[in-house]
Structure 1
Amino acid sequence: MKPIWIVDDDPSIRFVLEKALARENLPTRSFTQPREVLDALADISAGDPTRQGPQVLVSDIRMPGGSGLQLLEKLRELQPGLPILIMTAYSDLDSAVSAFQRGAFEYLPKPFDLTKAVELIRRAVEESQREEVIEERPGATPEMLGQAPAMQDVFRAIGRLSQSQVTVLITGESGSGKELVARALHRHSPCAEGPFVAINTAAIPKDLLESELFGHERGAFTGAQTQRRGRFEQAEGGTLFLDEIGDMPFDLQTRLLRVLSDGQFYRVGGHAAVKAHVRVIAATHQDLEKRVQDGVFREDLFHRINVIRLRLPALRERHEDVPMLTRHFLQQSARQLGVEPKRIADSALALLGQFAFPGNVRQLENICHWLTVMAPAQVITLQDLPPEVLQAPAYRPPVRIADSAQPAAPARELPSAQHPVLPAAAGVAPDADAPAALAADMPLPPPSDAGWEQALETEAQKLLAGGRPQVWDALTRRFESRLIRTALTATHGRRMEAAQRLGIGRNTITRKIQELGLDAPDEA
């Protein structure tokens, strides 16, 4: 591992931090002023094989020969992903605001608690290692993100369809990313060089939708001053994406069926057939089979668009993707707003992972944008999350007995995108939220609307009323013990997998196991 760089003109501070970090097996390198740091970085850039750049940098603010804030500003240019902790004995508002505005990972006022300082440096190391993994991934930002099995199946389906121009029906809840899948299908298809044209059939009034789709001739209706090309003509040689097709008016469904069947259409008010060389991808959040039964969607049109069906999973079915998506959206929001990307604490990520996300990926994206604007510090903590997350009950995925209980998929349907909610062995354990908060010596409450938070509050009140000292540490220890035991049980003792599911680093879970005295088996 690369060393922790310590910059402080006070030798006692350097000595204390060096010894404390050495006990944690963290290498260090110390400097007395900012100029030495910049010279060392220049030597490394020149190819000095005996030196490594910093994993994390810890710097004082006021030193002879330069300011820690100026060093911070310079390092943001030279090494933008480097976590930097700022220390100062002058704990004033201006210093704190300046540090965070310049992109500091955290602000550490002197005198500091050595244990908490080391823990903060460890967090910065884990963040730095995560950043390194992201930077090692080649190419630009991927068009779609997802490591969950259900999303990997969607990716495989897109790959299988990459040599085809067959009609595809994408189903999934609102906000789950159906248009992203449609764009990916277009981008990886033989008609990728042609245009991609999208239209939301539910967002356009019925009287205007026909003209939007098929265009109109001059004088076809009041206000039609010139001939207008519709979306079918605009998408010639490419892909037309019909979003929310389940809401299309019934009479227009007939015209759409004619285009799909004959490959030609007439503009509104026109008499000459127009050829359509267009691939159609449709999407809906509705149950089209039920709408056919209700008589509001044509059965023949349903069969015409239901050639290949892709079901896009809801975000609550792929909770293991929440940390990756959160960091991606925080980076994206920072670029849009022209600010330094914020980082998110493991505890905040863990709570996001328990949220049901009724608005799916779009809701997570909006939350990240809100956090970029509203979170007061560079590191987003649990308390910074929006009220709808903090006040929501933990999500419990429904338990399904076996996949075989599900109806068989039609032969033409790609089975890859038809996964049910993952069972405990493949995702979040159904009752993971209940035992996670209660320690082994705290009895589990009976199921109730109050949930485990009420049991935790009751226990805290009991300890506080009894005059128990260090209540925070006692309950935190019990909380962490039960949470880690539960995760290790779910992963059959595999520490790396348990750490990933909990949203913490491998080093953190190993250290916690040692601190808490947990008799956990090593990773298989």
Structure 2
Amino acid sequence: MKPIWIVDDDQSIRFVLEKALAREELPVRSFTNPRDVLAALDDDEPQVLVSDIRMPGGSGIDLLSKVKERLPGLPVIIMTAYSDLDSAVSAFQGGAFEYLPKPFDLPKAVELIRRAVDESLREEVIDERVTQMPEMMGQAPAMQDVFRAIGRLSQSNVTVLITGESGSGKELVARALHKHSPRGNGPFVAINTAAIPKDLLESELFGHERGAFTGAQTMRRGRFEQADGGTLFLDEIGDMPFDLQTRLLRVLSDGQFYRVGGHQPLKSNVRVIAATHQNLEERVRLGGFREDLFHRLNVIRLRLPALRERREDIPTLTRFFLQKSAKDLGVEAKRISDAALTQLTLFDFPGNVRQLENVCHWLTVMAPAQVVDIKDLPPELLESRSPGSSGQGASAHGVVAAAHGLPAGAVTAPLGDVAAVPAGLANAAPAVAPGATMASGEVSDAPLPTAAEPVSIGVASASAVLGGAAPAWLQALERDARARLEAGQPEAWDALTRQFEACLIRTALDLTRGRRIEAAQKLGIGRNTITRKIQELGMDD
């Protein structure tokens, strides 16, 4: 690990921090003025920079600005006086990680520096992943099925039909199929059949001869000719006009076609990949899509999962899109807090991955601070929560685990705790249709155990309080409370409150690896409060 740089003209401050960080086995390098820091950056760089705000030879704010130009991702902690509000504001506007008021509590200062180190190390890993980021990503089982299918199809030229909701990444899959196929060195030509007027679509696909219609002043090659030797991607194939479906079927059958106004048959060696968000079987039944064309396209079918079916991928995608947006806009990439990630993971994203990318672009432009918190998220993400977050798609524990980059099941609650969550995962549709056994797989509906001794009663009161379906943990709390009250158990309030507080504190301490100050910050309570609660709850042992 790289050293922590301390910049302060006060020798006593440097000495105290050096000794404290040495006890934590953290390497340290000290400076007395900003000039020496900037000179040292030519040959070295810190893991974290801790700088005083007022020193001979320059201010910490100026140093912050110059360091951020060279190392935009470096966490910088500015030390300042309690009353120096303007300096604190300037520090945050300049991209400081945090400010440390003087005189400071030494354990709190060390804890803050440790948190900055953790953030720096995590950002290094994320940056490395982003620089090596593949064209598609996803750890969810449904996405892994898609990746396996692409791998199995890598040496094939078979026709593929990709289905999935709008914004789920169908064109990305088509490009991946082309790139990893024997035609990877040939052209990839995409056309959205729903975006082109019917009168022009035939010419777009097959080309036209000079004089074929008004305005056709020159001969034009169509997409089939342009894609010769490569792949033609027909997006939103379900919206193709019925008469053009007949011409497309003929091309797929014998490989021959005519330009509009032409009399000479042409041949093109093209692999066709089609995509749609519609139910083509239903379109066939209603007479809007040719059944023979459907079967010609439906040789291998890949189904892309909606983003709400792969919530565990949202944190990784969010960080990637924040980096991508920052690079596109030429600004420093925003970081996102664990709480904000959890909120994102709870949202349903009807626009799927495309909507998440737009949200990240919005945050890059509109979020006021470098670290995005819940309050910085767009209003639509705060006004409603995912209807499936308490049942279908992911349990509350699974959502928290995903937001913190943990494997599913890593965040759980003991059976005796009120916070034990009953939740199940809905069956995930296989990535490849049943007719083309490529990469199928299901997730069984296996609910987690509920709280101890559940009572079979309604939960109308909890639902009424929330104005809708109550979260599973709140339903469990209501069942437990009702059972205690009906049994006449004394002090139900104190007993349940102690369990609830203990569960929150245990979870926060687990996330912060036992660091109480950081746990208190995550819970939004004071350091003295968490210490007192730990003692009252008998959690010191």
Q: Shorter-normalised TM-score: what interval?
A: 0.7 to 0.9
Tell me how far apart the structure 1 counterparts of residues 498 and 38 of structure 2 sit (CA, whole Å): 41
| Corresponding residue of 2:188 | 196
Residue 491 of structure 2 corresponds to none
Distance across 1 between alignment mates of 2:426 and 2:95: 49
- The answer to whether residue 392 in structure 2 is matched with residue 398 in structure 1 is yes
Structure 2 distance, partners of 1:249, 1:199, is 14
Instruction: Give the distance between the partners of 2:336 and 2:346, measured in 1 at CA.
Output: 15
Q: State yes or no: 1:96 paired with 2:120.
A: no
Quickly say closer, same or farther: Cα 1:101–1:392, change in 2 above 3 A: same
| Among 503, 518, 522, the residue aligned to 1:481 | 503
**Residue 358 of structure 1 corresponds to which residue in structure 2?**
350
The root-mean-square deviation of aligned C-alpha atoms, in Å, is 4.0
- 2-side partners of 1:4 and 1:216: how far apart? 68
- Per-residue deviation, residues 38-76 of structure 1 (Å, max 9, x unmatched): 565556x5xxxxxxx533222123212333234334434
Distance apart, 1:376 and its partner CA = 0.8
Q: Deviations over 1:228-287 (max 9, x none)?
A: 111111111111111111111111111111111111111111111111111111111111
Q: Which residue of 2 aligns with 1:235?
A: 227
Partner of residue 467 from structure 2, selected from 450, 473, 478? 450
* d(CA) in 2 for partners of 1:126, 1:290: 53
The structural deviation recorded for 1:480 is: 8.6
Summarize the alignment of residues 15-164 of structure 1 with structure 2, pairs less than 5 Å apart.
17=17, 28-38=28-38, 45=44, 54-76=46-68, 78-89=70-81, 91=84, 93=86, 96-97=89-90, 99-100=91-92, 102-108=94-100, 110=102, 120-137=112-129, 140-164=132-156
CA distance in 2 between partners of 1:104 and 1:183 (Å): 41
| Equivalent of 1:412 in 417, 428, 436 | 436
In the alignment, the residues of structure 1 paired with residue 516 and residue 213 of structure 2 have an alpha-carbon distance, to the nearest angstrom, of 69
**8 Å contact 2:145–2:431 — kept in the other structure?**
no
The alignment status of 1:183 with 2:175, answered yes or no, reads yes
Per-residue deviation, 1:119: 5.1
**1:88: how far off?**
2.9
Partners of 2:301 and 2:432 within 8 A in 1: no
- 1:166 counterpart residue number: 158
Counterpart AA for 1:129 = L
Counterpart Cα distance in 1 of 2:516 and 2:291: 55
Q: Distance in 2 between matches of 1:164 and 1:331?
A: 34
Q: How has the CA–CA distance of structure 1 residues 509 and 159 changed in structure 2, closer, same or farther, with 3 Å as cutoff?
A: farther
CA contact (8 A) 1:398 1:430 kept: no
Query: How far does the alpha carbon of each residue in 1:389-413 deviate from its partner, in whole angstroms, 9 at most, with x for none?
Result: 1111244252778859999952424
Aligned partners of 2:80 and 2:102 also within 8 Å: yes
Q: Which amino acid aligns with 1:166?
A: V
Amino acid at match of 2:9: D
For 1:188-267, list aligned pairs within 5 A: 188-267=180-259
Provide Cα deviations, 1:427-474, integer angstroms capped at 9, x if missing partner.
Answer: xx899xxx9xxxxxxx99633453669x99xxxxxxxxxxxxxxxxxx
Q: 1:175 to 1:401 in 2, by over 3 A?
A: closer
Equivalenced residues, count? 463
Task: Label 1:165 to 1:364 Cα distance change in 2 as closer, same or farther (>3 A).
Answer: same
Partner of 2:404: none
Q: Secondary structure at the match of 2:191?
A: strand
AA matched with 2:54: R
Match of 1:297 in 2: 289
Deviations 1:126-161 (A, max 9, x none): 321222223444964321121222212212211111
CA contact (8 A) 1:84 1:106 kept: yes
TM-score by length of 2: 0.74
Does the CA-based 8 Å contact 2:149-2:438 persist in structure 1?
A: yes
Matched residue type, 2:503: S
Conservation of the 8 A alpha-carbon contact between 1:76 and 1:82: yes
What one-letter code is carried by the residue in structure 1 that aligns with 2:89? Answer: A
Helix, strand or coil: the match of 1:340?
Answer: coil
Counterpart in the other structure of 2:270? 278
Aligned-pair identity in percent equals 69
Amino acid corresponding to residue 462 of structure 2 in structure 1? P
Which string of whole-angstrom CA distances, capped at 9 and with x for unpartnered residues, describes residues 324-355 of structure 1?
11111111111111111111111111111111
Q: 1: distance between equivalents of 2:29 and 2:387? A: 45
Question: Please, what TM-score do these two structures have when normalized by structure 1?
Answer: 0.76
Q: Which letter does structure 2 place at the counterpart of 1:481?
A: C
Superposition map of 1:370-389 within 5 A: 370-389=362-381
* Alignment partner of 1:337 is 2:329: yes
More off after superposition, 152-161 vs 507-516: 507-516
Structure 2 residue identity aligned to 1:398: Q
Mind listing any 5+ residue stretches in structure 1 that lack a counterpart?
A: 46-52, 436-442, 457-474, 489-494, 500-504
Moved more, 25-34 or 354-363: 25-34
Structure 1 pair 108/296, CA: closer, same or farther in 2 (3 Å)? farther
Match of 1:8 in 2: 8
**C-alpha distance in 1, partners of 2:103/2:498?**
24
- The one-letter amino acid paired with 1:296 is G
Q: 1:313 to 1:60 in 2, by over 3 A?
A: same
CA contact (8 A) 1:216 1:269 kept: yes
1:214–1:230 CA contact under 8 A, matched in 2: yes
Secondary structure of the corresponding residue to residue 64 of structure 2: helix
Contact 2:208 2:262 in 1 (8 A): yes
SS for the counterpart of 1:154 is helix
Matched letter for residue 206 of structure 1: K
Aligned residue identity for 1:446: A
- SS of 1:390's partner is helix
The DSSP-based 3-state class of the residue aligned with 1:412 is coil
- Give, in angstroms, the shift of residue 296 of structure 1: 0.9
Determine the C-alpha separation between the residues in 2 that align with 1:118 and 1:211. 69
In the TM superposition, what is the alpha-carbon distance from 1:482 to its structure 2 partner? 4.3
Cα separation, 2, equivalents of 1:114 and 1:445: 48
Distance (Å, rounded) in 2 between the aligned partners of 1:483 and 1:222: 75
Q: CA separation of 1:318/1:278 partners in 2, compared to 1, >3 Å: closer, same or farther? A: same
Secondary structure at the counterpart of residue 259 of structure 1: helix
Q: What is the deviation of 1:356?
A: 0.9
CA contact (8 A) 2:255 2:267 kept: yes
C-alpha contact (below 8 Å) 1:58/1:85 kept by paired residues: yes
CA contact (8 A) 1:309 1:413 kept: no
| 3-state SS of 2:463 partner | coil
CA shift for structure 1 position 179: 0.8
8 Å contact 1:34–1:68 — kept in the other structure? yes
1:465 maps to which residue? none
Where 1:282 maps in the other structure, the secondary structure is strand
Superimposed CA distance per residue, residues 372-396 of structure 1 (whole angstroms, 9 cap, x where no aligned partner) = 1111111111110110111112442
Q: Give the letter for the 2:436 counterpart.
A: R
The AA in structure 2 aligned to 1:96 is: V
Cα distance change on mapping 1:139 and 1:415 into 2, 3 Å: same
Measure how far apart 1:190 and its partner are.
1.2
| 2:153 partner SS | helix
